[in-house]
């Protein structure tokens, strides 16, 4: 069903406390019910009012009664032809742990001691999401929204500041409608990058979309923070290629771009997830790619005093041909740090080698290092799938393996000197499984101003740096690994952006501070708000105050509304 048919109208009376719902066409095959208050509707309204009266006299702290009450409310406010009860998983349900674990991607936040939701709701259509917002407000139940589970601090499925809470998992909202004629696609929030890339590939070999290399990312949350990938220098961020969107707002209404207005449309394209509404659909613009692209990986050992090549990469990578993207991975191999220069060129190998001989001969790229392939196979290459893996693997959605990890980020605006690089190498050697990833900007990114979207780290940014520590010991040595990455991040401070020191909201870092329960303050939130959004933070706060003054959509680092 095309998302233009997902509109639902709500009629609310504060005096009678009722809602009449136009049924959602994608949830059932029967004719839409009339918005008029028929005899049947009146009986529903009376039942609903009695239900509210009854619920006001009982406690909802017990998860069983909470679930039962929520289910009744969902049934009254969304399509009832599908058994909503089967979409809810409580801790007593044998599938609860597997459902939570399959969606959450950081095992550090899935350990038994981590806070767990009272239940998980997995809506199958947009009206279910609307109903979840309506019902959570009615009962004062805090909700978290999950589209892919890759949030580094797990705020989409763990709450340290709200109890009780529930999780609305969009995993079953995965429709993708690609329209080659208009070079666009509507993508449901629960679909993954990989599924989107595959659906584009099914229709065309000369189109793509410039989002992340991780194919199991949920597209809904991914784009809300910015979304960069191997075509960032050619086409910018994912948010720079969004045409329209559909969200559920704090009043349970589905709004498209026209209905929400340009301020809110601006805010959701880079302002981070979980602050302004529940993202249901993105309408994205497909970008042209050539039939043949070229990928390569050149490995170099980062030995003491061998940082000249890495320094040179910083000087040239942001200024190369816009069709060329070369990132650098730092990985530990036994007692050595290896730099992998990992590249995509939107063109053939012959032209690539010619460009590299002129612009970056220090890397020594030769024709034998290059693999000519299709764009969809370059997606598989960067995602780390073995050679020969069929593109259909992208439809699996979730990653095969997951681990425990902690991440941080930086934006670099001037090359880091060799002495600084040597200190970075030494610190990587003392951690068990470190990973640092440098991805160049420049090109198209330099053509945007800081205020074009909430994502401000544009012109003048040489590259984004991601730091990760992985471990497998569970809760055993968490402090050791987290202390290491904090120390590394502190060490890098003199070499990266400052005033403010920028960080990427999609690599969320709760070390910067968190909101308090029912006490989100502008001053408190500024500590991370300016790092993620620079001066755009103030505009985000104003929009939040306008569209969600009651702070329905909140989490540890959500945008706060100003006091009314």
Tokens of 539: 């505009």
The residue with greater pLDDT, 412 or 517, is 412
User: So what's the pLDDT on residue 305?
Assistant: 78
Confidence of residue 276 (pLDDT cuts 50, 70, 90): very high
User: 28 pLDDT exceeds 90?
Assistant: no
Coil/strand/helix, residue 374: coil
Task: Choose the catalytic residue: 507, 522, 530, 532.
Answer: 507
Q: How many CB atoms lie within 10 A of CB 182?
A: 11
Over residues 104-128, the mean pLDDT reads 94
Range 48-67 average pLDDT? 51
Q: What is the pLDDT of residue 277?
A: 98
Bridge partners (DSSP) listed for residue 142? 165
- Check: CB of residue 28 under 8 Å from CB of residue 79: yes
Instruction: Pick 390 or 5 by higher pLDDT.
Output: 390
**Range with the poorest average pLDDT among 159-168, 259-268, 497-506:** 159-168
Instruction: Calculate mean pLDDT across residues 402-410.
Output: 95
Tell me the per-residue pLDDT of 437-476, one tens digit each, with 9 for 90 and over.
999 999 999 999 999 999 999 999 999 999 999 999 878 8
Residue 176, classed as helix, strand or coil, is strand
pLDDT exceeds 70 at position 55: no
Integer Cα distance of 123 and 139 in angstroms: 19
Please check the confidence at residue 34 and state whether its pLDDT lies above 60. Answer: no
Q: CA-CA distance, 507 to 376, in Å (whole number)?
A: 26
pLDDT at 92 over 70: yes
The mean predicted confidence, pLDDT, of the chain is 89
Cα–Cα distances in angstroms (integers) from residue 78 to residues 118, 188, 246, 251, 342, in the given order: 21, 19, 18, 15, 48
Judge whether residue 29 has pLDDT over 70. no
pLDDT at 53 (0 to 100): 39
Residues 512, 217, 99, 476, CA torsion sign: negative
- The region that residue 347 occupies, defined by phi over 0 for left and psi between -120 and 50 for alpha, beta otherwise, is left
Alpha-carbon span 300 to 332, nearest angstrom? 12
Is residue 169 within 8 Å of residue 122, measured between CB atoms? Answer: yes
Lowest mean pLDDT among 65-69, 91-95, 499-503: 65-69
Place 62 in a pLDDT band, splitting at 50, 70 and 90. low
Beta partners for residue 345, in sequence order: 294, 324
| For residue 362, pLDDT beyond 70 | yes
**Has 4 been annotated as catalytic?**
no
Pairing of strands 142-146, 165-169: parallel
Which strand (E) or helix (H) includes residue 18?
strand 18-21
Beta bridge partners of 426: none
Give strand ranges (E) for 302-358.
324-333, 336-345
Query: Which stretches within 61-103 are classed as H helix?
Result: 63-77, 96-103
The C-alpha atoms of residue 3 and residue 24 are separated, in whole angstroms, by 11
What's the pLDDT score for residue 80? 64
* Mean pLDDT (whole number) for 145-149: 92
Q: Which residue has the tokens 């000369």?
A: 206
Is the model's pLDDT at 279 over the cut of 70? yes
Please give the pLDDT value at position 137: 95
Q: How far apart are the first and last CA of the chain?
A: 40
Element housing 58 (H / E): none
Do the beta carbons of residue 121 and residue 167 sit within 8 Å?
A: yes
For 487-530, give the DSSP string: HHHHHHGGGS--SS----GGG--GGG--PPTT---HHHHHHHHH
Per-residue buried b or exposed e for 415-424, using 16+ beta carbons within 10 Å of the residue's own CB: bbeeebbebb
d(CA 326, CA 339): 12
What is the spatial distance between Cα 398 and Cα 544, in angstroms, rounded to a whole number? 32
- Residue 442 Ramachandran class (φ > 0 left, ψ -120 to 50 alpha, else beta): left
For residues 405-411, give the mean pLDDT. 98
CB contact at 8 A, 564 and 550: no
Q: Report yes or no: 465 and 502 within 8 Å, Cβ to Cβ.
A: no
Answer yes or no: is pLDDT of 75 > 60: yes
Mean pLDDT of 164-170: 96
Q: What is the pLDDT of residue 14?
A: 28
Tell me if residue 452 falls in helix, strand or coil. Answer: coil
Residues 541-558: pLDDT tens digits? 999 999 999 999 999 999
Distance CA 314, CA 296 (A): 18
Query: What pLDDT digit, counting tens, does each position of 470-507 carry?
Result: 999 878 889 999 999 999 999 999 999 999 999 999 99
Q: Yes or no: say if 81 and 27 are a contact pair by the CB < 8 Å rule.
A: yes
Query: Looking at residue 3, what is its pLDDT?
Result: 33
Pairwise pLDDT comparison (206 vs 474), residue with the higher score: 206
Q: Please say if the pLDDT value at position 286 is more than 80.
A: yes
Any idea how long the chain is?
564
* Phi, psi angle pair for 238, to nearest 5°: -60, -40
> CA 223 to CA 150: how far, in whole Å?
12
Q: How far apart are CA 55 and CA 392, in angstroms?
A: 48
Mean pLDDT score, 327-342: 95
> Which residues neighbour 20 within 8 Å (Cβ) at sequence distance 6 or greater?
10, 11, 35, 37, 41, 45
Query: Among 22-31, 50-59, 123-132, 319-328, whose mean pLDDT is lowest?
Result: 22-31
Specify the 3-state DSSP secondary structure of 558.
coil
Beta strands (DSSP E) in 218-273 are 242-248, 254-255
Give the range among 38-42, 86-90, 113-117, 126-130 with minimum mean pLDDT: 38-42
Indicate if the alpha-carbon torsion angle 512, 468, 221, 463 is positive or negative: positive
Report how far residue 24's alpha carbon sits from residue 252's, in angstroms, rounded to the nearest whole number: 13
- Greater confidence, 310 or 149? 310
The predicted pLDDT at position 39 comes to 47
In the three-class reduction of DSSP (H, G, I as helix; E, B as strand; rest coil), residue 552 is classed as coil
| Residue 86 φ/ψ, nearest 5 degrees | -75, -5
CB 20 within 8 A of CB 252: no
């Amino acid at each position: 069903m095309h998302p233009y048919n997902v509109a639902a109208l709500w009629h609310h009376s504060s005096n009678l406390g009722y809602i009449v719902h136009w049924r959602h066409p994608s949830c059932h095959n029967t004719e839409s019910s009339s918005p008029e208050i028929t005899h049947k509707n009146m009986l529903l309204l009376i039942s609903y009012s009695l239900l509210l009266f009854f619920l006001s006299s009982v406690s909802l702290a017990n998860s069983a009664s909470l679930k039962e009450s929520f289910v009744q409310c969902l049934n009254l406010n969304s399509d009832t032809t599908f058994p909503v009860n089967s979409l809810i998983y409580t801790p007593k349900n044998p599938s609860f742990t597997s459902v939570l674990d399959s969606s959450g991607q950081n095992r550090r936040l899935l350990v038994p001691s981590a806070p767990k939701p009272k239940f998980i709701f997995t809506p199958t259509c947009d009206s279910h999401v609307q109903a979840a917002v309506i019902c959570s407000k009615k009962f004062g139940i805090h909700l978290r929204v999950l589209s892919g589970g890759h949030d580094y601090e797990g705020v989409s499925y763990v709450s340290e500041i709200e109890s009780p809470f529930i999780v609305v998992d969009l995993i079953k909202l995965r429709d993708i409608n690609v329209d080659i004629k208009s070079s666009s696609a509507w993508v449901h929030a629960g679909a993954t990058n990989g599924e989107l890339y595959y659906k584009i590939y099914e229709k065309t070999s000369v189109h793509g979309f410039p989002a992340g290399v991780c194919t199991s990312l949920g597209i809904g949350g991914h784009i809300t923070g910015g979304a960069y990938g191997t075509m960032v220098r050619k086409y910018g961020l994912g948010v720079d290629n969004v045409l329209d969107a559909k969200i559920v707002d704090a009043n349970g209404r589905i709004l498209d771009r026209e209905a929400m207005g340009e301020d809110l449309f601006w805010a959701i394209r880079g302002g981070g997830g979980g602050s302004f509404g529940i993202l249901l659909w993105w309408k994205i613009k497909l970008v042209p790619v050539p039939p043949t692209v070229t990928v390569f990986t050149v490995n170099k050992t980062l030995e003491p005093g061998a940082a000249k090549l890495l320094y040179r990469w910083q000087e040239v990578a942001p200024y190369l041909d816009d069709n060329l993207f070369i990132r650098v991975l730092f990985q530990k191999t036994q007692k050595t740090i290896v730099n992998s220069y990992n590249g995509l060129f939107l063109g053939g190998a012959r032209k690539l080698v010619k460009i590299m001989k002129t612009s970056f001969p220090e890397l020594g790229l030769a024709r034998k290092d290059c693999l000519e392939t299709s764009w969809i196979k370059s997606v598989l290459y960067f995602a780390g799938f073995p050679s020969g893996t069929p593109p259909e693997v992208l439809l699996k959605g979730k990653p095969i393996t997951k681990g425990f990890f902690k991440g941080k980020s930086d934006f670099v605006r001037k090359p880091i000197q060799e002495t600084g690089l040597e200190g970075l190498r030494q610190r990587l050697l003392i951690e068990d499984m470190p990973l640092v990833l440098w991805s160049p900007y420049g090109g198209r990114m330099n053509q945007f101003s800081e205020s074009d979207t909430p994502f401000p780290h544009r012109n003048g940014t040489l590259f984004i740096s991601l730091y990760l520590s992985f471990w497998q010991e569970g809760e055993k040595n968490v402090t050791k690994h987290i202390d290491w990455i904090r120390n590394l991040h502190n060490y890098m401070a003199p070499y990266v952006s400052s005033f403010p020191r920028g960080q990427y909201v999609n690599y969320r870092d709760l070390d910067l501070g968190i909101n308090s329960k029912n006490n989100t303050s502008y001053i408190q939130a500024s500590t991370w708000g300016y790092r993620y959004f620079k001066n755009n933070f103030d505009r985000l706060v104003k929009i939040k105050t306008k569209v969600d003054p009651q702070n329905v959509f909140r989490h540890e680092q959500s945008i706060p509304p100003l006091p009314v």
